[in-house]
Structure 1
């Protein structure tokens, strides 16, 4: 039966709509399955939190579309919201069952029912976010909607006319060519079913039913202003609490939010920049770690899915591999599974019947590929024996949550607070943010010449890298900032080599991720040092490039014949007798301890540093790579093992730690230790020469994120496609400006919500991505050289599928191209990078595209060419993107038109309506320093940085530093950690002084602090003006004199040095001495509290 209904449409849409019921005699046209509904956690945070806020990214209230609202006070005759029949929205006992469970609105034309949960909600919005019905669908992981029986369209369950798919987020409408009716079709059918093109429908005019995060008003009416004024007044926070309550009490009401057991009276104390003592530090961070652990446990233990289909395979090592994917309501949560997680796989009731008995097994996640989980089985239970690989359906998957990581974080916080030997007194006070006198390691052994900095197996260092190594070797605590492509890993490996020559024992090298640890392990091993890679038990079966260096591989080879016999017996029988098992463990533990003790360097993850096998080890020197990606308590695990010298390597201008719990993130858990130390005034030493990007590609990131300090270690000639080794093509890409391999492709296609409801996609951008990729492939570029970055999981899936389906070349070529998120590309590079921005709504903002760190990573992955695709009108409302668009516009690389005839775009942009200088998100960008004033202006020359674009205008010098505050009281006296400083011979006797005072050494490249860094800075001047540069940027220190906290040890007037940057102050005890000579060096150990050094 076909039903048509008249619709009043003010926007020009067809006035009649057509629905086909299940019993209708319609042609059955096969279609591919609907889109996968997975979404990443970052997207959920973005869409549920950011887009539901009361203001958009520019700070302006999101306006409702007046054209989509019916302001007529007269309501449908079926509505009970008339003056005579008005019902108090707070009187939930009297409200009809179909009243909105959020606000109480009960106009039948304005409400819809969530089929999965049975709850009715309306199409009104709360403070500029999504509509109530859409918000509930997203929060409850639902996607099916039924209209009210008394609505103009009847009690219809929205579904696709062709495939009967009911996911409202992929449904849309198309008008008929010859009649005034519309039909509902899903996005997949419109694009994949050829037979639909022969029907009387305008498929090219397909539009989604959900736009701007609410249903189209002709489908579900937007309540009038009068109804909304009468409705319950509630906030997004109350909505979130109500949704959380419904997870355990589905029938809970709005009034239940006032119950004592629901009201959350515990206020989290946010993280601070400075802490009174270790106990204060623990009391602030420990509750946040616990909250994150509880949230992680709740999410992952709820991840239980039935009726899973499994594909069984054998690995090269003979292990059983189960491959499967999640579906249904847990599709989004499955994105939170990580490599190394443990899952339990067991037979469902039907599969048990077929198998004849119960079976369950435990495995760890070996890999995640295109939404599929590869689970390597390592044990079975229930007396079931072998894996039932003949059964492929009706499995149950359960997550096994382990608290190991969080327990080790809590232990490190406790150890740091109560154990005097966990770190030295100096490091203790510095980590807490106390203003203490600077300290040098007098016994540091520094390379005598530039050639001595080079180590076996690694390339020689450049000047900034050598300066970083020299500075770090002399300091108990150092931060190294490694911008993209600056050789951070090589510098870290070289530094570790020199640390092992300092006579302080073994060096512990850690990083938050296993990938980073393996990369650094490989580099360090190339120097000839004895390196041991300590892997977790769950990762021992994972193959890696450093297997031969792993403790679990080395142990059987070194344990002797007796251990080998026991190992063979265990492998054959499956278990050992109690006596043999005890002997086996004793031999293994002893061998592991001997191997670890014989190592020069031990490498593991930050959490791995809390492994029981390292329980009795004390590490005086600790290096943490990728330190900006570790939460603070995680970075503390290796530090609290007796550190006397710590080195944090990272880049706070790139992505930070991932925190799942929004409350913990809001309280500051996402701030890394590296970033906090920068904010309290510790200047990281910056590596300045980048070897990755074409010089034109590095210009904007250098100016915006690194004060224009990045130098190019490669030339334009080094980054030409036609001269690239192995490239067989004969033509270059048609860049709008030949010597600038980049452009911003102006695309104004509409953004759409993905199938999960928590992500976005943009079909127009995807089609242009395919055109660019196809052109590159035809030129001879290989798929491995191309990367597509998009912030949204919905776009990632859509682009991959669209290229495979619509590309004119072999589908295998498109399948080999990596399409991934910004997070997945951090630390990696490709020759060509395409960035699909997706967001294109004037009212919904740009979500986490406004994150400067995310943009920095996306812009710095390309070696040869960079192409961005997006809507400039929408993006330019954000000041950061406005600066980027201006950069492209000035170089005439802001383009539109067909790929073979790109022309400069003259699209006008909205000026950013918000001053970014006071926004903490932009603290580490040129925006915070007044480098962008929002004006479109002509390029001019003659600046301090000759290649600096007008987007980075001189906005005033660096701010002066505040004076040091009084010493914070604590149970440790900081005076025990001050060493006497004596004058020593200058290194170069003024040879590099550059017009300044006579003498000094070249300064390392210290990164500037954010403009709002306050007191407590370890480099603040307390005695007068600082002598910084002896006339030039790389001049010497020492000639200008004192003016520092240690000025009584030096000669000089205390005035400024000649020229240079007088606002940058390092403290005379840093580098006013000879960094290479050990003559008259001060003694550290003699005056240090023996409890901590």
Structure 2
């Protein structure tokens, strides 16, 4: 199949133009996943071992029944592409692409459709069969491909914005509520000015874009939008220019529903947690009745289990149906699902699950809120809007990491650009949240200046006290480990690790334990740009609480999370090899904005200074006297960080090797200044 890749257009003249531009990029992404799946079969550790149970031919299609023999079966799902390897003998094997038709979790059986020309390989029943552990869903890509061809089914107001990036002028100028003054009081009490303007814009526009930098309260703003929309469901007053300039009211016969969606399950669950805390407007406790809040989709947090769709269906069926064995009756379950969707008011789900068959039915959906809208490709954004919503609210931050795309060619031509980003490039009106409540001002100063053009203001609540008045315990520090050396990871040859930086991290953790009595592992996190470094850190701290509580992760996986104390390991130290994807400003922004009180960065300044952004970071840290040198032996350098001046270094000059003796002398030195006695 031949196709030509073109750069993603900013504007489109018609649906045909949109299809011609997006279709090749989507096909390239699918083919790249297939290529990646084929390369995994070279590593036998990346393959699932299976046993052939039987095979049959039905309607000119060949199906095989297999039993998975290793632990990777849990990740196998229906309607997924996978690579099937037939080992004829020790030196010969045949590969083909298969699609899972049925998966039986209880017996670990799977029915897979393969090419009919491979039937002669199945005559020998004892032939070993292996499957690649990497697979991807066919269903999601089919929905994306079909959506490109049926783009005309979008409502006109959404299609106009997608094609021309301009908003349709509203005929109704203003919208009033009967309790306008009360609502205004509640908004001022619970939200700042930028959040208020973002919430009230929902009443004036059909498509709203809200950009929320880290810590500015995106989730809280979403809860404010939900509460305002629910309050508007009873009566809405429109101002229309008539002869008398009077008001008329339109009662809503049926309460409309609200969908809150996000890319990741963690973000969706976070919105559910926020709904449990309540909403700001009065007379809104009605939504806390049973069946009003529903979490649709799998892989949810155990704390939202009581509002999950599957569990609520069984609860509803047991209360309103006399059938004893209702879980075996499919008609009872389907009937309960339909009634539950009619009763539900707030539906929380992911973008992947929003194409559920129940969402496609003609229910009254008032508004669709897309959280993390800048992290989804444009097709996924538009598929959520299709025939299910009157209004669309997209909340995100274009300065953070975009959607992950397998194909480098598709990413180069703009396939990873979200609809949020494309509309922003065309000067579409965006509500900006400008007050951040998360980071200490010393941490937020550089991201606010570099990535947001000084558009972020620090709240009074974001300021906090230091651990001690020692110079190395300030909220932001950069530690230059110029003697460190990066190496290729043994298990993952495409990733990097730096054992010297791990040693320095260990010394810092020991210092925190002995000098900070309130050190809590739950509020501590270690991030890195490479999975190899994360694996080495977890192995190094295998007996520590930090590793057990899974507080170590990559930058990409840590997006959307926060910790009081963050240590960032840069890893790269070779001057000639470069710094890889650490040069991405969006990845740097995510790394710097995860910490609330303390952010310590460990890296090689010589290698990092080749990048302009990192050069600004280094010069900024030197200007603020937050730049410290770490030389071998690292134990001596880490202790020297505790001193204020050269005179203090004369008082404490111990260079012992045993860790217990070093800590004992260190604490005695500290007790000289703090007047405390430490006993080990």
TM-score w.r.t. structure 1 length?
0.46
| 1:524 correspondence with 2:295 | no
User: In the alignment, which residue of structure 1 is the partner of 2:614?
Assistant: 881
Residue 648 of structure 2 corresponds to none
Q: CA deviation at 1:341?
A: 10
**2:234 aligned with 1:483:** no
Aligned to 1:649: 395
Counterpart Cα distance in 2 of 1:566 and 1:302: 48
CA distance in 1, matches of 2:360, 2:21: 26
Where do residues 738-757 of structure 1 align in structure 2 (5 Å cutoff)?
Answer: 740-748=474-482, 749-755=484-490, 756-757=492-493
Question: Which residue matches 1:550?
Answer: 308
Task: Measure, in 2, the Cα distance between the counterparts of 1:462 and 1:395.
Answer: 61
Separation in 2, partners of 1:776, 1:412: 54
Task: Tell me the equivalent position of 2:180.
Answer: 448
Question: What is the rounded CA distance, in whole Å, between the counterparts of 2:404 and 2:439 in structure 1?
Answer: 27
Q: Which structure 2 residues correspond to residues 362-381 of structure 1 after superposition, within 5 A? A: 377-378=105-106, 380-381=108-109
Residues 436, 457 of structure 2: 8 Å contact kept: yes
Aligned to 1:267: 4
Separation of aligned partners in 1, 2:532 and 2:206: 46
The offset of 1:459, in angstroms, is: 8.4
Shift of 1:811: 4.2
The structure with more strand, counted as a fraction of residues: 2
How far does residue 408 in structure 1 lie from its aligned partner after superposition?
A: 2.3
Q: Deviations over 1:766-825 (max 9, x none)?
A: 211111122223333122221111101121122233345xxxxx6455554622110111
The Cα shift of 1:441 comes to 5.1
In structure 1, the partner of 2:325 is 566
Q: How far has the Cα of 1:508 moved from its partner?
A: 2.0
CA contact (8 A) 1:300 1:401 kept: no
Does the 8 Å CA contact 2:470/2:642 hold for their aligned counterparts?
no
Q: Within 5 A, what are the aligned runs for 1:793-812?
A: 793-804=531-542, 811-812=544-545
Partner of 2:348: 603
Residue 901 of structure 1 corresponds to 640
- 1:437 CA displacement: 5.2
Per-residue deviation at 1:382? 8.1
Instruction: Look up the SS of the partner of 1:546 in the other structure.
Output: helix
Match of 1:700 among 443, 446, 456: 446
| Alignment root-mean-square deviation, CA | 3.8
Alignment of 1:408-557 (within 5 A): 408-415=143-150, 417-419=151-153, 422-423=154-155, 425-435=156-166, 438-439=169-170, 442=173, 444-445=175-176, 448-449=180-181, 452=184, 454=186, 460-503=190-233, 505-525=256-276, 526-527=278-279, 528=285, 529=287, 531-536=292-297, 539=298, 544-557=302-315
- 1:79 paired residue number: none
Q: Tell me which of 137, 142, 145 is aligned to 1:402.
A: 137
TM-score, with structure 2 as normaliser: 0.73
Distance in 2, Cα, partners of 1:865 & 1:550: 36
Q: Could you tell me how far apart the structure 1 residues matched to 2:79 and 2:275 are?
A: 28
Residues 555, 592 of structure 1: 8 Å contact kept? yes
Distance in 2 (CA, whole Å) between partners of 1:534 and 1:448 is 31
Alpha-carbon distance in structure 2 between the residues aligned to 1:381 and 1:437? 53
Tell me the distance in 2 between the aligned counterparts of 1:838 and 1:798: 12
Deviations 1:186-234 (A, max 9, x none): xxxxxxxxxxxxxxxxxxxxxxxxxxxxxxxxxxxxxxxxxxxxxxxxx
SS class of match (1:565): coil
State which of 612, 621, 645 in structure 1 corresponds to 2:357: 612
> May I ask how many residue pairs the two structures share in their alignment?
550
Q: Which residue of 1 aligns with 2:513?
A: 777
Whole-Å separation in 1 of the counterparts to 2:444 and 2:393: 27
1:671 aligns with 2:417: yes
Name the residue aligned to 1:638: 384
Unaligned runs of 5+ in 2: 50-67, 88-99, 112-127, 234-251, 280-284, 631-636, 644-680
Residue correspondence of structure 1 range 49-128 to structure 2 within 5 A: none
Structure 1 stretch displaced more, 500-509 or 779-788: 500-509
For 1:406 and 1:412, locate their aligned partners in 2 and report how far apart those are by CA, in whole Å. 10
How far is the alpha carbon of 1:890 from its aligned partner?
0.8
CA distance in 1, matches of 2:325, 2:440: 57
**Residue in structure 2 matching 1:590, options 335, 339, 344:** 335
In 2, the alpha carbon distance for the partners of 1:300 and 1:459 equals: 54
* Partner residue, 1:1036: none
Q: Is the 8 A contact 2:294 2:344 kept in 1?
A: no
Residue 291 of structure 1 is aligned with which of 19, 28, 32? 28
**Could you tell me how far apart the structure 2 residues matched to 1:853 and 1:500 are?**
35
Contact 1:293 1:403 in 2 (8 A): no
Q: What is the aligned partner in structure 2 of residue 177 from structure 1?
A: none
Greater gyration radius: 1
Structure with bigger helix share is 2
**Counterpart of 1:1075?**
none
CA positional deviation for 1:271: 1.1
For the residue of structure 2 that corresponds to 1:668, the secondary structure is: coil
Give deviations 1:1008-1054, integer Å, cap 9, x for gaps.
xxxxxxxxxxxxxxxxxxxxxxxxxxxxxxxxxxxxxxxxxxxxxxx
User: In 2, are the aligned partners of 1:695 and 1:714 still within 8 Å (CA)?
Assistant: no
Q: Deviations over 1:399-453 (max 9, x none)?
A: 56431222222333333x222xx32x33321121254554375463466247646
Judged with a 3 Å threshold, the aligned counterparts in structure 2 of structure 1 residues 293 and 587 are, in CA distance, closer, same or farther, namely farther
